[in-house]
Amino acid sequence: MTDTTAPAAAPDEAAAPPAEAGAAEPDPFKVVEALNAENAGLKDRLLRTMAEMENLRRRTEKEVADARLYAVTNFAREMTGVADNLRRALDSLTPEARAAHGALVEGVELTERDLLARLGRFQVKKLEPQGQKFDPNFHEALFEIPDETQPAGTVLQVVEQGYAIGERVLRPAKVGVARGGPKA
């Protein structure tokens, strides 16, 4: 059997570019300029990529922090109803009923405080709008109360407590707002 492969070129022959007749040598200054331009372009691309990666890292950290903070939103929204019911039960008691069932009332108050404390561990806090200026981002006005002594737009009555988780409103407070007084 005969070998049909071409003989391997000598190492010196493979490394040397073929010399063309009459080909001029490239200008070394132009070669350096071209390499400098390519280097500047690559450096610019590298810096842009690094900046983009840093922005992506920051954005991802924020998204992870938000996901961690707001992951319990639906559960917390459900638990605010339990807190409301405990408060309604306590508010419905007459002084005689409180005196007759002191231990039971104390247990319900303790349960309410414990529930609110546990929600607080997950950044859920109760909004306290009583006496504050009405803010549509945190309050839902159900009615107006004519009162010349209070500045217009002041929350005078809280019908249902509101809650916030972190900086977001979980449930706006349902309130009655003063009307007719001096402008705040």
Q: Which domains does the chain have, with CATH numbers?
A: 73-179 (2.30.22.10)
- In the chain the beta strands, taken as DSSP E runs, fall at 124-126, 139-146, 155-160, 163-165, 168-171, 173-179
pTM score, two decimals? 0.64
Tokens of 45: 């691309």
Q: How far apart are CA 122 and CA 133, in angstroms?
A: 27
Q: What is the pLDDT of residues 105-118, one digit of tens each?
A: 999 999 999 999 99
Q: What is the pLDDT of residues 88-143, one digit of tens each?
A: 999 999 999 999 998 999 999 999 999 999 999 999 999 999 999 999 999 999 99
By the 10 Å C-beta count (0-12 exposed, 13-18 middle, 19+ buried), 92 is classed as exposed
